[in-house]
Amino acid sequence: MKLIKQSGIILFLIGLGIFIATVFLGSFNLKQEQLDSFLKEKNYKSTIIAGELQKAIVTNDALNIFEFSSRVRQAYATSNAHYDNLIKKYDTEKNWDKKGEQFQYKISGKLHSISFSLAKTSGKGLAVNNTWLMWFLTFGLAIIGALMYIIPDVILLGKPGIKNNGIFLNAATNRGWIGWFAFIFLVTFYILLYFYPDYIVNWVYLVDPISKSISGNPASQWFLYGFLYCIVMTVMAVRMYIKYRHNKYQILRTTSVLFFQIVFAFLIPEILVRFEKPWYDFKNAFPLDYDFFFKWNLQELLDSGAFGLFILVWGIILTIVVVPVMVYFFGKRWYCSWVCGCGGLAETLGDPYRQLSSKTLLSWRLERIIIHSVLVFVLVMTGFALYTFFSGKGEILGIQTQTIQDIYGFLIGAIFAGVIGTGFYPIFGNRVWCRFGCPLAAYLGFVQRFKSRFRITTNGGQCISCGNCSTYCEQGIDVRAYAQKGENIIRSSCVGCGVCSAVCPRGVLKLENGPEEGRINPTDVLLGNDVDLMNLVNKK
C-alpha cells in the first residue's frame, strides 16, 4: 500500500514536471496569410503595426513562446511609440488638429492577451502536434499519480473516523517547505493565468480537443482553467470521500459541489456557447459574479433574444430572492459549501489546509472590515455600471465607470479572488477569499446572522474546550469560545462545512435548521449546572 502511495507521488510529480516543462516547448511563428487574417479581424488604424508584426513574427525562425511574446509586444510598443512621438511633435508645434488625430492610431488592450491569440494560431511542436500524448503525460500522469497517492488511504488511514494524525507534523500541511512550494506554484499559476496567458499557451493547446468537443471552439485560457478546476476538484473529492467516509453530511456536500462545478460552471456554459448563446453559469450569483451588470454583459444578454432575457431575469431573481430565501431556511451553507465553485475548490483542494486559518480576534476584525469594504466597492461599482448603461454616460462626477470596473477586476477579481484567494491556501488556510473577500458571502452573512433558521447547536455542557473545532474551522471562527459557554454558534461567516461537528470528540456540535426563536443563546442555563447559579451568572 505504501509502495503504491509512493509510486503515486512520483508519477504525480513527473506529470507536474512535464506540465511545467511544456511551457518551454514548441515554437511559434506566423505565415503572412495568418497575420493578414488576424489584422483583418482587428482592423487597426495604425499604419505601421502590420509592418512591425510582419518583421517580428512572420519568420522561419522557431521562436519559443517568450521570444515570440516579447517580439509581439515590441511591435505594438514600436507602433504606439511612433504615434506618441507624433503627438509630442504636434504638441510642441501647437498643431492641435494634427495632434488630436493621432490618438486613434494608438492601440490599447492587454498585450499578453494579444500575444496569446497570435500564439494560439501559430504554435508547433509536441503540445500542438501530439496533443493527446502530451495530455496523457501531463494531466494523465498527474491524475493517475494523485489517485494512486490518495486511494490507498482507504486502508492506510485505518478504520473510518476522524484521522487528522500528523497534520501539524507534516511539511505540506503545517506551512513547511512543501506548503511554501505549493504556495509559490499556485501563486505563479494564477499570475500567469490572469496576466501572462501567452506564456501558458501550450497548456491551452493540451485541452483544445476537449474544448472543441464540447463547445466547438478552440480552448481559451479560461477553458483551461475551468477544465483544470474540474479535474482538481474531482481528484480531491475522492480524497474527501475517503477521509470522511463515516460522515454522510460531508459525502453529500462534496458530491453537491462537484456536481455544480462540473455541470453548472463548466459543461452548461460551454454547451450554451455551442448553441451560440451567451456563456453563463446559472449558479454564479451577483455580486460574486461582479460583471453581471456591466454594460457589455447586459448588452450581450439583451442582444441574445428571449434566452438572454431569461438569464437576465434569473440572475436578478437569484440574487434578490433565491439566495436570501434559501439562506433563511438553510443558512449560507446551501451556497458556500454545497453549490459555489470557489467554495467547491476550497472544500476539496483546500481541505488539507483548513487548519491554517487564523483564529485571532485581530483577524476577525480585519475580516469584517475587508469583506464589507469589498461589498461596498462592488455595490458602488454596480451603481456606476447601471448608471452608465441607462444614461449612456461613461462617467459620474468625473470618475470613469470603466476605470472603476478595471480596478475592481484587477484588484478583487484577479488578485484577491485568484492569486490570494487560492494561491494562499497553503499559508492562510483554504477560505481566504470566502472569508476576507467574497462580497456575496458578506451579503449571505447578513441574512444568516439576522434572519435565518440555521445555527450550530452546542450540546449543553459537554464541551471540554479541546479546541479541535476552532482549529479545523476554515473560516477562522473560534467555535470553542461559544461551545465552552454552551452558546449556539451564529456567525455571519460560517459556511456550514460541518467539520467542527465532525472533529468534535465529545459530540458537542450539530448544524441544524430550526425555529428562529431561541436560536441565539437558547441555553440560558449551561446544562448540568445549578439553575439558581446560572441565573446569577447570567444576570448582568
Partner 1 sequence: MEHIAIIGNGISGVTAARHIRKLSDKRITIISAETDYFFSRTALMYVYMGHMKFEHTQPYENWFWKKNRIELKKGIVKQVDTESKALHFNEGDKLKYDKLIIATGSKPNKFGWPGQDLKGVMGMYHKQDLENLEKYAPNNKVCKRAVIVGGGLIGIEMAEMLHSRHIPVTFLVRENSFWNGVLPEGESNMINKEILSAGIDLRLSTNLKEIVSDENGQVKSVIIQETGEEITCNVVGLTAGVSPNIDFLKDSKIELGRGVKVNRFLETNIPDIYAIGDCAEQYKGIDQRRPIEAVWYTGRMMGETLAQTICGNRIKYKPGHWFNSAKFIDIEYQTYGWVWAQPKENEARFYWEHESGKKCIHINYDKDSREFIGINNFGIRMRHEFFDKVLNEKQSVDYVLEHLADANFDPEFYKLHEKEIVTKFNLENNSNIKLKKKSWKRIFSKA
CB 246, min distance to partner 1, A:
8
Piece in contact with partner 1 (CB under 8 A), picked from 203-211, 256-264, 386-394, 506-514: 506-514
Nearest to 189 by CA among 160, 215, 224: 224
Cα–Cα distance for residue pair 318/325, rounded to 1 Å:
10
Q: Does 306 bind partner 1 (CB under 8 A)?
A: no
Q: Is residue 17 close enough to count as binding partner 1 by CB under 8 A?
A: no
Stretch (H or E) spanning 354: none
Residue from 401, 468, 475, 493 binding partner 1 (CB under 8 A): 468
Binding mask 84-103 for partner 1 (x = CB under 8 A): --------------------
Of the candidate residues 47, 129, 165, 521, the single one contacting partner 1 (CB under 8 A): 165
488 binds partner 1 (CB under 8 A): no
Q: Where are the alpha helices (DSSP H) in 216-304?
A: 221-243, 248-259, 268-274, 295-303
Residues facing 511 on adjacent strands:
456
Least distance to partner 1 from the beta carbon of 440, Å?
23
* Dist. CA 26–CA 8, nearest whole Å: 28
Asked if 249 touches partner 1 (CB under 8 A), the answer is yes
Q: Element (H or E) spanning 123, and its range?
A: strand 123-124
d(CA 469, CA 359): 11
Binding of partner 1 at residue 40 (CB under 8 A)?
A: no
> Closer CB to partner 1, residue 40 or residue 248?
248
Taking alpha carbons only, the member of 469, 447, 474, 471 closest to residue 459 is 469
The end-to-end CA distance of the chain, in Å, is 60
Figure out which of the listed residues 155, 317, 321, 533 binds partner 1, where binding follows CB under 8 A. Answer: 533
Rounded Cα distance, 172 and 431, in Å: 17
How far apart, in whole angstroms, are the C-alpha atoms of residue 298 and residue 289? 13
Decide: is 317 part of the binding site for partner 1 (CB under 8 A): no
Closer to partner 1 at the Cβ: 440 or 503?
A: 503
Q: Choose which of 248, 303, 306, 397 interacts with partner 1 (CB under 8 A).
A: 248
Most distant pair of Cα atoms in the chain: their distance: 92
Paired with 63 in beta bridges are 28
One-letter identity of residue 6: Q
Q: Which of 510, 540, 505 lies closest to 524, judged by CA?
A: 540
Is 484 an interacting residue with respect to partner 1 (CB under 8 A)?
A: yes
Instruction: Check binding of 234 to partner 1 (CB under 8 A).
Output: no
- Please give the Cα distance from 211 to 7 (Å, whole number): 31
Rounded to a whole number of angstroms, the minimum distance from the CB of residue 438 to partner 1 is 24
Which residues, in sequence order, are CB contacts of 485 under 8 Å at separation 6+?
526
Residue whose C-alpha cell reads 454552551 in the numeric block: 486
- Residue 303 interacts with partner 1 (CB under 8 A): yes or no: no
CB of 154 to partner 1, least distance (A): 15
When binding is defined by CB under 8 A, the residue of 51, 100, 161, 216 that contacts partner 1 is 161
Question: How does DSSP classify residue 489?
Answer: B
User: Is residue 73 at the binding interface for partner 1, with CB under 8 A as the rule?
Assistant: no
Hey, is 511 helix, strand or coil?
strand
The number of residues that bind partner 1 (CB under 8 A) is: 60
Q: Find the shortest distance in angstroms from Cβ 119 to partner 1.
A: 46
Q: Which stretch binds partner 1 (CB under 8 A): 77-85, 232-240, 416-424, 455-463?
A: 455-463
Asked if 296 is part of the footprint of partner 1 (rule: CB under 8 A), the reply reads no
Q: 54 vs 15, 71, 72, 117, CA distance in Å?
A: 37, 10, 10, 16
Residue 170 binds partner 1 (CB under 8 A) = yes
φ/ψ of 25, rounded to 5, equals -85, 170
**Between 168 and 450, CB nearer to partner 1:** 168
Interaction of residue 6 with partner 1, rule CB under 8 A: no
Query: Considering only residues 212-231, where is the footprint of partner 1 by CB under 8 A?
Result: none
Only segment of 19-27, 43-51, 163-171, 428-436 that touches partner 1 (CB under 8 A)? 163-171
395-424 positions binding partner 1, by CB under 8 A: none
Q: Are 298 and 275 in contact (CB under 8 A)?
A: no
Task: List Cα–Cα distances, 399 to 168, 374, 388, 403, 404, in angstroms.
Answer: 49, 19, 11, 7, 8
Q: Does residue 532 touch partner 1 according to CB under 8 A?
A: yes
Site string for partner 1, 337-376 (x = CB under 8 A): ------------------x----xx---------------
CB nearer to partner 1: give 36 or 516: 516
One-character DSSP codes across 423-477? TTHHHH-TTHHHHHT-HHHHHHHHHHHHS-SEEEEE-TT------HHHHT-TT--
Residue 507 near partner 1 by CB under 8 A: yes
517 part of the interface to partner 1, by CB under 8 A = yes
Does position 471 bind partner 1 by CB under 8 A? yes
- Residue 507, Cβ density class (10 Å: 0-12 exposed, 13-18 middle, ≥19 buried): exposed
Q: Name which of 422 and 523 has its Cβ closer to partner 1.
A: 523
Q: Does 1 bind partner 1 (CB under 8 A)?
A: no
Which residues contact partner 1 by CB under 8 A? 158-162, 164-170, 246-249, 252, 355, 360-361, 457, 459-462, 464-468, 470-471, 480-481, 484, 498, 501-503, 505-507, 510-512, 514-515, 517-518, 522-523, 527-533, 536-537
